[in-house]
Amino acid sequence: MEPWLIPKHTRFRARKDQLQENDWRRTMPLDHYVSQVHLRKFYSPALGNRMYAIRKSDLKSFTPRSEDVCRIMDGSTNVYLRENREIEDFLKTIEPNYTAAVEKLIAGAIDRECIYTIAGFVAYIISCSPTNMRIGSDPLKNIVETTTAMMDAKGVFPPAPPQLGDRTLTELIRDGTIQVTIDPKFPQAFGISGIMDCTARFGNFKWDILHNGFKDSPFCTSDFPAAIEETSDPRTLNRIVPLAPNLALRIRPNRASDQAQPDFSFRNFGYRSRKVSHRELVELNCLIVRCAEDIVFYRDDRPWVRPFVAKNRHYRIEAYTHRLAAPTGTLLVSTQRVVARTPLPEPGASRCQTSN
């Protein structure tokens, strides 16, 4: 319909609705789930206040500023919490100190503030990112489905109506007629409410401070810069955290440490600082790319970057839940894995590439 044929009062109402939507967007904060102070460490000297980026999903390249990426409208607001933006107070103790903390790690001048800042940065990534909300939804979904099956077996729920074939609720869930959907904000609420405990745990683990001396192969980062690394203990995963093009961190959990009470004196903290070999550097970058949700950021537009991302892009972190029979029901044990997604990667890409 031509504009002049639309009734005037309808045009006024549409204009009012548009203005109200614009006002709403102006008042809703754009929250960064990866801190801008971190992303700025990967700005390219060739670009000024920008960095290189490539999407795993389509291999499209672009050169964003830190404020342009890793942000969600009202992403830090969580209505499941008593104070729906309480994470902001936590970030005020982390982000202003990030640059100084990285410099302390490089210089070996590590103090309690440095430990708290870096541990808090990692805890925030793990707790509030879209990756965590996606991964954290799967264990909750398994809990709902398992609890439903147990209650259904005891006759708690009535049979489904005839339109659904008089099947049980368990059968309807199993064949996909009924689907359990978790609000991703719910696992985020769990992460935010426990972020101080998470910070204390990371600060009391052992850290490998990994220095990169290869100027032609800097560390990259991503929209989830807290990659996972398998260990000899299947219950334990290391965290690989790129902090700058020349610096990364391996956090090695200690399952024997007392985690009942948060310890911000970090008396169990320990570290070792060393240079990485080129082979190790490539393996670390491989994990960073594979664990990225979609976007990989890097400082230098080297010829190896695009094919390297292309070889490792068909992976991401997924939750995996073991169901173990127990005398009183079912025990669910959840962990995380880096898994291949379809389309499958090209032959020879199952292990981290070492060709850059």
Number of structural domains the chain divides into: 1
Distance CA 44, CA 301 (A): 9
Is 210 domain-assigned? Answer: yes
Q: What single-letter DSSP state applies at residue 217?
A: S
Residues 6+ apart with CB under 8 A from 2: none
Is 79 domain-assigned? Answer: no
Is 300 domain-assigned? Answer: yes
The pLDDT value given to residue 159: 80
Instruction: For residue 20, name the pLDDT band (cuts at 50, 70, 90).
Output: very low
Is 232 domain-assigned? Answer: yes
The pLDDT value given to residue 202: 97
Tens digit of each residue's pLDDT (9 = 90 or more) over 116-164:
999 999 999 999 999 999 999 999 999 999 999 889 988 898 888 888 8
Is 189 domain-assigned? Answer: yes
Is 188 domain-assigned? Answer: yes
The pLDDT value given to residue 256: 72
Which of the pair, 16 or 325, is modelled with greater confidence? 325
Strand-pair partners of 5 = none
Q: Where are the beta strands (DSSP E) in 267-314?
A: 270-275, 295-298
Is 261 domain-assigned? Answer: yes
- The stretch 250-258 carries a mean pLDDT of 83
The predicted model scores a pTM of 0.86
End-to-end CA distance of the chain: 58
Is 23 domain-assigned? Answer: no
Tens digit of each residue's pLDDT (9 = 90 or more) over 278-324:
999 999 999 999 999 999 999 999 999 999 999 999 999 999 888 88
Phi, psi of 54 (to 5 degrees): -145, 140
Tens digit of each residue's pLDDT (9 = 90 or more) over 58-113:
999 999 999 999 999 999 999 999 999 999 999 999 999 999 999 999 999 999 99
DSSP 36-98: HHHHGGG--TTTSS--EEEETTT--EE---GGGSSEEETTT--TTSSSTTTHHHHHTTTGGGH
Which has the closest alpha carbon to 123: 37, 21, 225?
Answer: 225
281 token code pair: 């550097």
- What percentage of the chain reaches a pLDDT higher than 90? 71
Phi, psi of 73 (to 5 degrees): -60, 115
Q: Where are the beta strands (DSSP E) in 197-299?
A: 206-211, 221-222, 227-230, 237-244, 247-252, 270-275, 295-298
Give the domain range for residue 88. 36-68+84-340
Contact between 101 and 114 under an 8 Å Cβ cutoff? The reply is yes
> 256-285 burial, b if ≥16 CB within 10 A, otherwise e?
eeeeeeebeebebbebeeeebeeeebbbbb
